[in-house]
DNA sequence: GCGAACCTACGACAGATGTAGTAGGCTAGG
DNA sequence: CCTAGCCTACTACATCTGTCGTAGGTTCGC
């Protein structure tokens, strides 16, 4: 439904993540969260991030007390989905399967993760079988 | 081994792709290939892309005849690998499994692709079994 | 030998992004 | 009340990227 997911810079995304993970917060708080994640920037820099995110429609600012409190207006899923799609498009011509293969070949998985993936893929396969033969 | 994979802009990546896919080429040829992919830009723009890619160490220019011929110096795998890693890091804190799950839930796969993925994942699982129990 | 065609080196420029300083306003404690 | 602190609105600026135009050298056909 939402018209379009705007492009976000790396720092902007990082900022948004602090809101998804820690809930609504003031500039000061966001700054602390960013610092914990290793991004140590000036107070006004954080304000800039938040302001730009607001212009892009990704966060909302509510006056509470003396300071504004910012909260995410787009879900993590939406952003993640669009970024992943973007990557798939750029690197694999839009085909997801090659990316999955790539990941299976170049990244490592714990036994648990592997089992989960197996289960998931089996489910997908079953769904498809159930749909195709059509009786 | 290579020190580092430099950051590439979207257009730069697109340009590199034409070299991977079609082999070494002149500015003129690269321009045509880009046009076919829907990116219609001026001759000098392509030259700029190629020049920047050269500065970043991604392509090499050989004087052949009157015009330079550019060829990729980094493999597609290296670039793809680093981009994927980057994405995984930014969106999933570096864990590949969640991305695979995400893809399985939000993207679609043909029966063939599904089968291939299944095979692949089973292989991985088998490998792990064989390594863990140790006899 | 000349002009047309082509080639590359530079310089430019706008927009996006990361980063920060300044200035002026509001708040709360004394 | 008045001051010390905190808050936000602006402005600024460097870099990176995508896009070109101009200018000057090279080549090739005639």
In this structure, the answer to whether residues A15 and A33 fall within a common structural domain is yes
Domain range spanning residue B71?
10-76
CA distance B114 to chain A (A): 7
- In chain A, the percentage of residues whose pLDDT exceeds 90 is 84
Residue B61, domain member (yes or no): yes
Give the pLDDT band (50/70/90) at residue A127: confident
Which residues of chain B neighbour A100 with C-beta distances below 8 Å? Answer: 100, 103-104, 117
Please report whether residue B47 resides in a domain.
Answer: yes
Q: What is the pLDDT of residue B129?
A: 74
B113 part of a folded domain = yes
Q: Are residues A114 and A68 both part of a single domain?
A: no
Q: What mean pLDDT is reported for chain B?
A: 92
Inside any domain, residue A90: yes
Domain membership flag for residue B82: no
- Answer whether A13 sits within 8 Å of B90, measured CB to CB: yes
What is the percent of chain A with per-residue pLDDT over 70, rounded to a whole number? 93
Q: How far is CA A62 from the centre of its chain?
A: 23
Same domain assignment for residues B60 and B15: yes
Residues of chain B with pLDDT under 50: 134-135
Residue A85 and residue A54 in one domain: no
pLDDT at residue A63, as a whole number: 85
Give the mutation candidate from B85, B87, B102, B128 for the A interface (greatest A CB count, under 10 A): B87
Measured CA distances, B95 to A103, A116, A128, B86 (Å): 10, 14, 28, 11
Mean residue pLDDT across chain A: 92
Same domain, A42 and A82: no
End of a domain among A50, A74, A98?
A74
Pick from A5, A81, A84, A92 the residue to mutate for testing the B interface (most B CBs within 10 Å).
A84
Query: What does the pLDDT read at residue B135?
Result: 43
Quick one: B128 and B101 in the same domain? Answer: yes
A106 shares a domain with A118: yes
Q: What angle do CA B84, B88, B92 make, to 5 degrees?
A: 165
Q: Which of A74, A93, A118 is the last residue of a domain?
A: A74
Q: At B63, phi and psi to the nearest 5?
A: -75, 115
- Per the listing, tokens 């997908």 go with A124
Work out how many domains chain B is built from and give that number. Answer: 2
Are B64 and B30 in the same domain? yes
Residue B68 shares a structural domain with residue B22? yes
Whether A25 is in a domain gets the answer: yes
Report, in ranges, which bases of strand D sit under 7 Å from a protein C-beta: 6-12, 16-22, 26-28
- With H, G, I as helix, E, B as strand and everything else as coil, classify residue A60: strand
Confidence of residue A128 (pLDDT cuts 50, 70, 90): confident
Q: Examine residue B86 and state whether it is found in any structural domain, yes or no.
A: no
């Amino acid at each position: 439904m939402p018209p379009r997911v705007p492009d976000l810079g790396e720092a902007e995304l990082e900022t948004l993540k602090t809101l998804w993970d820690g809930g609504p917060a003031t500039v000061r708080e966001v700054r602390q969260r960013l610092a914990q994640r290793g991004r140590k920037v000036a107070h006004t820099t954080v304000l800039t991030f938040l302001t730009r995110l607001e212009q892009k429609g990704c966060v909302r600012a509510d006056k509470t007390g003396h300071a504004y409190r910012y909260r995410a207006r787009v879900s993590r899923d939406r952003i993640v989905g669009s970024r992943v799609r973007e990557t798939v498009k750029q690197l694999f011509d839009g085909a997801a399967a090659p990316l999955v293969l790539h990941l299976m070949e170049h990244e490592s998985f714990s036994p648990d993760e592997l089992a989960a993936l197996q289960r998931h893929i089996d489910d997908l396969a079953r769904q498809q079988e159930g749909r195709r033969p059509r009786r």
